Chains A and B, each alone.
Chain A
């Protein structure tokens, strides 16, 4: 049991330290580490976990790690896999955040960060466009998108409230067999 847990922890630490971006970017790594090398899960299982991981709250990569850990060794397995996955982030980000905080007053660093913000603005905008095509498939979806955007940006309404509102309107507006209605 201890060996299984250590294995889970170590495997997910490795995955967490080489996967950039999480989410689907992690899929090829999971395939190599968990299917090819260890035969812990099947490809179908991983894809199932992704489907659920996306349709539940929380970070997708964490949800998938939790699933695989649970399937290998129950509760403690879920904990071991998830902690393993976040461990590299904790170390790397703490070091970088420390360096940035420490060097934040240097004028060159400030100019560089102002430029970085411009790049981040462009990256976020392109992410929104990419997500938009996947999430907004009809006029009702467009309505929910536009309303949430406006209420958040102009009125500063709480994102918690707006997420609940989105789910609520989804239940009301997309009545009937969910799959078919959603495609219209």
Chain B
């Protein structure tokens, strides 16, 4: 049954995704590859909507992915699956707050876990760059990149690093560029 599958897949993600913001992205990327519930292109749209609306990005993406897979109830089930491990883990840890924080094994494990988590997001990010900028099946290096897209990408990346304004601004600029330049 699709709802049970959705709940279980997002339960696993809630158990393994560490860190903020886009921590669930690599898992959703893998999920799209193994199940075909949504495409990498849809995943990029989910990021855009999730970063432009209120609420935690991970929660928004879970609702969106669940909705795309199995409608309104799918969105609810995926979101509940994602938060279930948090409820158990946090309530369990709340009993021994200090002991957990000062446990050297936990600290050491996280020294390795954090770089791995960033590596995973970087890999998913490369996948999205490929999707947005690289011409599929290009026959020569000169055709490798969509040039207008790449130009907009470079300008936006520079602007994001330079100005700390809300991501929705850059997403809207991207949308306008896409319509005007006919991406």
A interface, CB within 8 angstroms of B:
16-24, 26, 48, 51-63, 66-67, 70-71, 75, 78-79, 82, 85-86, 88-90, 92-94, 96-98, 100-101, 108, 111-129, 131-132, 134-136, 140-142, 144-149, 152-153, 156, 158-160, 162-163, 165-171, 173-175, 177-179, 181-182
Contacts and interface: CB of A to CB of B under 8 A. Distances in A.
A125 B125 contact: yes
A169 to B, nearest CB: 5
A115 B64 contact: no
Contacts of A62: 56, 58-59, 82-83, 86
B56 A116 contact: no
Contacts of B59: 22, 59, 61-62, 85-86, 89
B119 A17 contact: no
Nearest to B98: A48
Q: Which of B94, B105, B133 has the most CB of A within 10 A?
A: B94
A132 B118 contact: yes
A131 B123 CA distance: 13
A132 B114 CA distance: 9
A113 B22 contact: no
Q: Which 8 A-B pairs have the closest CB atoms?
A: A115-B178, A170-B112, A166-B116, A119-B174, A22-B56, A148-B119, A89-B55, A58-B86
A136 B54 contact: no
Interface residues of B, number: 105
B15 A118 contact: no
Interface of B: 12, 14-27, 29-30, 33, 41, 44-45, 47-51, 53-60, 63-64, 67-68, 72, 75-76, 79, 82-83, 85-87, 89-91, 93-94, 97, 100-101, 104-129, 131-133, 149, 152-153, 156-157, 160-161, 166-167, 170-171, 173-179, 181-183
Given A90-B76, A131-B121, A171-B109, A97 B87 contact: no
Given A70-B90, A171-B108, A23 B183 contact: no
Contact of B55 (A16, A129, A158): A16
Contacts of B25: 124
Contacts of B72: 94
A79 B175 CA distance: 38
8 contacts: A63-B89, A71-B94, A113-B45, A115-B181, A117-B128, A149-B119, A167-B116, A174-B112
Nearest to B105: A171
A174 B161 contact: no
